[in-house]
Amino acid sequence: MSDDVTPRPRGSFYPRRRDDWHPPALAPRYRSSTLRAPRRALISIPQGWGEITGPVFGQNMLGELDNDLLRNFARPGESPIGERIIVHGRVLDQDARPVPGVLVEIWQANAGGRYRHKKDGYTAPLDPNFAGLGRTVTDAEGHYEFRTIRPGPYPWPNGPNDWRPSHIHFSLFGSGFAQRLITQMYFEGDPLIERCPIVNTIPDPAAVDMLVARLDMNASLPMDALAWRFDIVLRGRRSTYFENRPEGN
């Protein structure tokens, strides 16, 4: 979240990411990390012009309903089951300046906690009017917005009774496909956040707090949908934690 981002002079350096702020690659309580954690030193792969200069994402690549998950998979005249919500925010750099032209994609479970994925074996039913996928491009001021339903929590085979809190996955692309950052957004007040083995790999509670969206009544639609604000900060000491770049953005 960007609530406490302090603007700094332009051109300020990118500080090294703190090891005590981000989770270790190997966290035995999060069982699958034992298979995913690298066993050798990381290497840096040089980027070519294809990764550095393109492609450029624009509004002309989007469908009319791409950011409206309430309608982009629903049958005519029908809607998904669940609590209707708006998720919005801004993408900012480390100096609190907006980052325009960022392709933001989300994916999530339905209101029952089930993904529309062939490998999801949870017994909750699929919703015939909900795919759980959306995308948009940030505007000139870094704003993005989605209409969707609040995803449900779900059990997962990590421990005897482990549950994932309600969450939405975010993917951000820069000016090229190699510039991709992935994170998860949680909901303020969810008691499962502090119980989640994945969340608990993050050693600093302040870092966890930056992954939590805030209820935003000012952006809510009366008699329709509550709104949640989730700002994403690129680089710097107050950077949002990105799960695919724990070594740095």
Catalytic residue annotation: 115, 154, 164, 167, 169
Q: Two tokens at 102?
A: 């960022």
Question: What three-state secondary structure class fits 36?
Answer: helix
Quick one: DSSP state of residue 13?
-
Strand 167-173 and strand 180-187: pairing? antiparallel
- Could you tell me which residues are beta bridge partners of residue 106? 134, 170
The residues, ordered by sequence, that sit 6+ positions from 159 with a Cβ below 8 Å of its Cβ are: 31, 197
Cα–Cα distance, 221 to 33 (Å, whole number):
40
Cα–Cα distance, 146 to 135 (Å, whole number):
8
Cα–Cα distance, 126 to 110 (Å, whole number):
7
